[in-house]
Amino acid sequence: MTCVLGIETSCDDTGVAVYDTSAGLLANALYSQIETHADYGGVVPELAARDHIRKVVPLVNRVLTEAGVAGEDLGGVAYTRGPGLAGALLAGAAVARSLAYGWGIPACGVHHMEGHLLAPMLEPVPPTFPFVALLISGGHTMLVEVEGIGRYRILGQTLDDAVGEAFDKTARLLGLGYPGGPAIARAAEHGDASRFNFPRPMSDRPGLDFSFSGLKTFTRTTAMQNDLDSRTIADIARAFQDAAIDSLLIKCRRAMRETGYSSLVVAGGVGANQLLRGKLSDPGVGTGVDVYYPRPEFCTDNGAMIAYAGVWRLSGVDPDDLSFDVRPRWPLDELDPA
Ligand code: KG4
Ligand code: ZN
């Protein structure tokens, strides 16, 4: 039995959790910085780093108490090494490393997107390898062929904006606030799908790459050509969401056809989107394969996925090596098999 403390601080959520290899998730806590950044319409890196410094240790104390585990009895501490905001990552890495040193246990830095990719493993019915993963967050949009832990081949990725970033920018344009994904989804519920028809990016080109900058420009042009009353805002949100989700769907269908795999994992913040979930499970337009998601709270950033990835990654670390760094940019396919 190994118990691992996971610490996530790559962006604007401080996530801390304890995962036990026999008993599963023992405790999970999250502090969201949404209020800190809301006035700015996006994440302010310096404020994010300072907020993590304030929140990590109280959250660690809370989850250890809830889990009933002493720091010294843990098998290790896992923290997000990258990709993400450098200052935010450093805050988590420094605290994680210091705690592990003090407790005399190993620490390891894990890849944030590997955490997202493995998050469905925390569910009662987890996927089995191999599968295709659609990773959709504020910083990434990619399709990955997953043969095992660390055995990742990127099938396609965005050539410009990430899909979550497109949701966030569109929400800001429409005055819907931050974070944009849930705000667009809420506004779109009242929108008229027939009023505007937005292009489905990259759907007419072969391959599995994505692009969202054209859709963003089309949205901005439409917003400038119309009076932004509440009905028009809802209609534009609807047209944008339909186009963005369709473009993800088209590429998922293609990826499943090309790999011949029978399982699709959808993870990352945009994976919480209900329209996407509904369409993927629709026998008419879905992929026709089994789709696995983390529960919605583990789609967005959290400590549980980092603790889980840490279970696999801690075994390879040298406990005497006290040096550490962060990787604000860190390609997923650079990871080694575990
Ligand atoms: O994975 P995540 O929490 O952080 C990153 O690693 O980036 O993803 C955050 C992104 C944001 O862009 C947010 O707008 C988007 O996920 N998001 C959504 C929804 N909930 C969060 N996008 C669409 N629909 C949602 N329901
Ligand atoms: Zn994330």
Q: How many residues does the chain have?
A: 338
* Atom in ligand 1 nearest the alpha carbon of residue 113: 6
Strand ranges for the chain from DSSP E: 3-8, 13-20, 24-32, 76-82, 107-111, 131-136, 141-148, 151-157, 263-267, 290-292
Protein residues with CB under 6 Å of any ligand 1 atom: 11, 137-139, 164, 167-168, 179-182, 185, 268-270, 272-273, 300-301
- In whole angstroms, what is the distance from residue 252 CA to residue 143 CA? 8
Ligand nearest to the CA of 12: 1
Å from CA of 79 to ligand 2 middle: 13
pLDDT tens by residue, the chain, 338 residues = 699 999 999 999 999 999 999 999 999 999 999 999 988 888 999 999 999 999 999 999 999 999 999 999 999 999 999 999 999 999 999 999 999 999 999 999 999 999 999 999 999 999 999 999 999 999 999 999 999 999 999 999 999 999 999 999 999 999 998 889 999 999 999 999 999 999 998 888 889 999 999 999 999 999 999 999 999 999 999 999 999 999 999 999 999 999 999 999 999 999 999 999 999 999 888 999 999 999 999 999 999 999 999 999 999 898 889 999 999 999 999 999 99
CA of 115 to the centre of ligand 2 (A): 8
| DSSP letter for each residue of 185-250 | HHHHTT--TTT-----TTTTSSSS-B--HHHHHHHHHHHHHS---HHHHHHHHHHHHHHHHHHHHH
Report CA(194)–ligand 2 centroid distance (Å). 33
State pTM to two decimals.
0.96
